[in-house]
Amino acid sequence: MHVILGGTGHVGSATAEALLAEGERVLVVTRNASHARAFQSKGAEVMEADVNDVPSLRAALERGKRALLLNPPADIRADTDVVERLTVQRILEALRGIALEKVVAISTGGAQPGDRIGDLNVLWELEEGLRRQSIPAAINRGAYYMSNWDSQLSSVRATGRLSTMFPADLPIPMVAPVDLGRAAADRLMSGVDDVGVRYVEGPRAYSSNEVAEAFAKALNRPVELMVTPRAQWKEAFQSMGFSKPAADSYARMTEVSMDGGFDQGTDPIRGKISLESYIRAIAEEHADEERAATS
């Protein structure tokens, strides 16, 4: 049995789907079982657990032989670094004493020691915690998620403007969540000697200009790229609803990632989903939802 923490999120659900397609037994772990009914209809088991409740996490992990570990994103209105470091500690605590054959953890490109640089140091702490325990651990460092652009779909459709904090022509390694899920499923099913860090990227790197072009094609309208100057990053995050400490952390994470070249690994696992096809798919899904809502 494969235990999927965060089984109803983008990457967790893609991992569960890929495993089920291979005929594997899957336990989807979620805070709310009603969100996982579609998986039950496909033969998966579902169990409720809260990442802040170590006994419930341990009970879920004890039901499987292998597990996918995902540290859930904190509410952006909170101090995200504080919350996410705590949930990493609770996941690691829940693993103690459990006889799992193997775990696969979702980390991020650029993971590194530090303080208040968001996922970079939070997921580094997850990686280091896994290295210190006895369960064989495979770590997938994902590139910049294509889904980070999802939240701008409605505003781009309405205004024809796409915002970015990156230089317009800077190539950025990106990956679709489905490709991250497939890579995670492959490593869950591989041998216990398939451990350590692998990088997961899409077919190629894309610039923000290319993101704007993909939106323009998908929405059949001109799209203007608006580059936010570095000095305004914190203010921009706060305007999106981030708390002041979260805005500071995300701005520092963006700076370190960009200045460090996004930590492109050698010989990455390559996904198949292009940026163009990803943007087209989310635009079509959004249009279908709007039509259903008005019919």
Using an 8 Å Cβ cutoff, are 198 and 138 in contact?
yes
Spell out the domain ranges in the chain: 2-144+175-202+263-273
Q: Tell the residue number behind the tokens 């004493």, with chain if given.
A: 97
Count of beta carbons in the 10 Å neighbourhood of residue 154 = 11
pLDDT of residue 292: 72
208 Cβ neighbours under 8 A, 6+ residues apart: 162, 164, 166, 167, 168, 169, 170, 172, 225, 227
- CA 120 to chain CA centroid, Å, is 13
H-type alpha helices, the chain: 10-21, 37-41, 54-61, 80-95, 119-131, 153-159, 177-189, 208-219, 233-239, 244-259, 275-294
Question: E strand or H helix at 198, and its extent?
Answer: strand 196-201
Distance CA 97, CA 93 (A): 9
Cα angle 93, 198, 252 (rounded to 5 degrees) comes to: 70
pLDDT of residue 184: 98
- CA 180 to chain CA centroid, Å, is 8
Pairing of strands 205-206, 172-175: antiparallel
Distance CA 141, CA 104 (A): 11
Q: In what order do the strands lie in the sheet with 172-175?
A: 144-145, 172-175, 205-206
Using an 8 Å Cβ cutoff, are 2 and 188 in contact?
yes
pLDDT of residue 288: 75
Q: Tell the residue number behind the tokens 């059949």, with chain if given.
A: 220
Q: Which CATH superfamily is domain 2-144+175-202+263-273 in?
A: NAD(P)-binding Rossmann-like Domain (3.40.50.720)
Count of beta carbons in the 10 Å neighbourhood of residue 12 = 26
Alpha-carbon torsion, ordered 129, 130, 135, 136, to 10 deg: -160
**pLDDT (tens digit, 0 to 9) for every residue of the chain, 295 residues total?**
999 999 989 999 999 999 999 999 999 999 888 888 889 889 999 999 999 999 999 999 999 999 999 999 999 999 999 999 999 999 999 999 999 999 999 999 999 999 999 999 999 999 999 999 999 999 999 999 999 999 999 999 999 999 999 999 999 999 999 999 999 999 999 999 999 999 999 999 999 999 999 999 999 999 999 999 999 999 999 999 999 999 999 999 999 999 998 887 789 999 999 999 999 999 999 887 777 777 6
